[in-house]
Amino acid sequence: MSDLHVDVDFQQKYANGEIICGDVFHTRRIIGEGRYILILSDGLGHGIRANVMATLTASMAMKYTSFHTRPEIAANIFMRVLPQNSDNKESYATFTIIEIDNDELVRIINYDNPTSLIFRNGKPFVPRELEIPIRGEENKEKILRIREFTPIKGDRIIFMTDGVTQSGLGGKRFQMGWGESQISSFAQNQLEREPEMTATRLARKIINQAAMNDGFKMKDDASCGVLNFRVPREFMLITGPPFYKIKDMEFVDRVRDFSGKKIICGGTTGEIIARELQLDIEIQHHYEGDDIPPAAEMEGFEMVTEGILTLGRVEEILEKYNNDTRLENTPPEEVAKLLLEHDIIHILLGTRINRAHQDPEQPFEVQIRKFVVKRIVKLLEERFFKKVFIEFI
């Protein structure tokens, strides 16, 4: 799977009238082991209590999965930790754990959530499933369902809570709820129409249809995640000139020879590349923001922006980014779009000091370019599952 990228998106709608969701989604990338872990937990009912149970379950599931704990043992531990109702009836949260190993294996562990749907070449794919009893006397008849398979290009995994499968329950069209079979047919139809459909687009189509089934007043929290295994798209971000001026031409050769999309963040950096490649830089005048300088155009590059201020704003955008974020056409937002649209990101970080940014009254982020870039790298790797290669020049 080392030559594939995992494109992930997650969409969610709250139960009608609720201000917090009883479904919780956690992700983690363990870079040193090349592992991705995704957890979706659905707390009993909805609202704050459901959110607490789902959060406890997802957090513990993430911890034990990270430590390679056998799932039937881990499930026994965190099921015993969950709070009980006042009438001593069981309070619990369902969960789905998806673990992607660097040794080309996907493992899906499910407890009482709807079955995850897998598509290969646009058709339903059903790998062998194991049923493992959860350890503990108090967990009699509780079963974990585990499936493992090796992904190939174009595989999709759709995982969800029962707010999706039970949407439309009692209505004229879906009296018994939308159901896994009809969701599978819906997803297959979408993939037949658009074989290259992104994870984001497919997840939104499914969650929006679930909302439509409930007349746009969700009877329960509904969550849907999609994984898409595809060939990675590569991108280069160049910021800052090389420490030694004598290295300028070597630096420019590296940039010129990169075959993917590329962007320059930094006026001095842009001027060096334009000079060595004998290109013209043309300032764009359509952007009317007064706090960030306008971007420029240069042949062979998506855009040329100002450096530190723009990168600082990019870091803020990525930090606050969620499913409802809509990016506009300001230079920082355009940079953020490019970072999010690509999977393997190469950053060339020049370390020559720009004297204009050594004012002690300026924010710390403005003084030290590499700190801003390192924060961006951390967000891209941990939150967005990007592979980032940074090189100091």
Please state the φ and ψ torsions of residue 382, each to the nearest 5 degrees.
-85, -35
Let me know whether 133 and 223 are in one domain: yes
> What is d(CA 26, CA 363) in angstroms, rounded to the nearest whole number?
32
- Residue 222: its pLDDT value, please? 96
pLDDT in tens, 52-87: 999 999 999 999 999 988 888 888 887 777 766 555
* Position 169 confidence tier, pLDDT thresholds 50, 70, 90: very high
- Greater confidence (52 vs 134) lies with 52
For the chain, the C-alpha Rg in angstroms (whole number) is 24
- Residue 366: its pLDDT value, please? 37
Across the range 162-189, mean pLDDT stands at: 94
Across the range 2-7, mean pLDDT stands at: 80
pLDDT in tens, 291-318: 778 888 999 999 999 888 899 999 999 9
Closest to 320 measured CA to CA, from 368, 379, 387: 379
Residue 30, pLDDT above cutoff 90 = no
Across the range 326-339, mean pLDDT stands at: 91
Quick one: which H or E segment has residue 234? Answer: strand 234-239
- Greater confidence (134 vs 204) lies with 204
Instruction: Mark which of 196, 211, 230 sits at the end of a domain.
Output: 230
Let me know whether 169 and 254 are in one domain: no
**Average pLDDT, whole number, for the chain?**
87
What residues form DSSP beta bridges with 124? 119
Let me know whether 213 and 273 are in one domain: no
> What is d(CA 161, CA 177) in angstroms, rounded to the nearest whole number?
13
pLDDT in tens, 92-125: 789 999 999 875 799 999 999 999 999 999 999 9
Instruction: Mark which of 162, 197, 230 sits at the end of a domain.
Output: 230
What residues form DSSP beta bridges with 27? 38
- Residue 87: its pLDDT value, please? 53
- Greater confidence (362 vs 155) lies with 155
- Residue 287: its pLDDT value, please? 55
Residue 361, pLDDT above cutoff 50 = no
* Position 39 confidence tier, pLDDT thresholds 50, 70, 90: very high
> What is d(CA 270, CA 239) in angstroms, rounded to the nearest whole number?
9
- Residue 351: its pLDDT value, please? 77
Let me know whether 201 and 73 are in one domain: yes
- Greater confidence (87 vs 273) lies with 273
Residue 23, pLDDT above cutoff 60 = yes
Supply the range of the domain harboring residue 161.
5-230
Residue 215, pLDDT above cutoff 60 = yes
- Residue 350: its pLDDT value, please? 84
Residue 265, pLDDT above cutoff 60 = yes
Instruction: Mark which of 181, 202, 230 sits at the end of a domain.
Output: 230
Let me know whether 13 and 138 are in one domain: yes
- Greater confidence (88 vs 313) lies with 313
Let me know whether 172 and 238 are in one domain: no
- Residue 362: its pLDDT value, please? 43
Please state the φ and ψ torsions of residue 230, each to the nearest 5 degrees.
-140, 170
Number of folded domains in the chain? Answer: 2
- Residue 365: its pLDDT value, please? 38
Long-range contacts of 376-380 (CB under 8 A, 24+ apart): 376/311, 376/314, 376/315, 376/318, 376/339, 377/347, 379/315, 379/318, 379/319, 380/318, 380/339, 380/345
Let me know whether 264 and 293 are in one domain: yes
> What is d(CA 168, CA 175) in angstroms, rounded to the nearest whole number?
7
* Position 91 confidence tier, pLDDT thresholds 50, 70, 90: low
Let me know whether 226 and 239 are in one domain: no
Let me know whether 152 and 48 are in one domain: yes
Let me know whether 29 and 114 are in one domain: yes
Cα angle: 183, vertex 188, 194; to 5 degrees: 130
- Residue 286: its pLDDT value, please? 56
Let me know whether 82 and 221 are in one domain: yes
CATH classification at residue 9: 3.60.40.10
Strand order in the sheet with 35-43: 23-30, 35-43, 93-101, 105-111, 143-149, 129-133
What residues form DSSP beta bridges with 157? 118, 227
Let me know whether 240 and 225 are in one domain: no
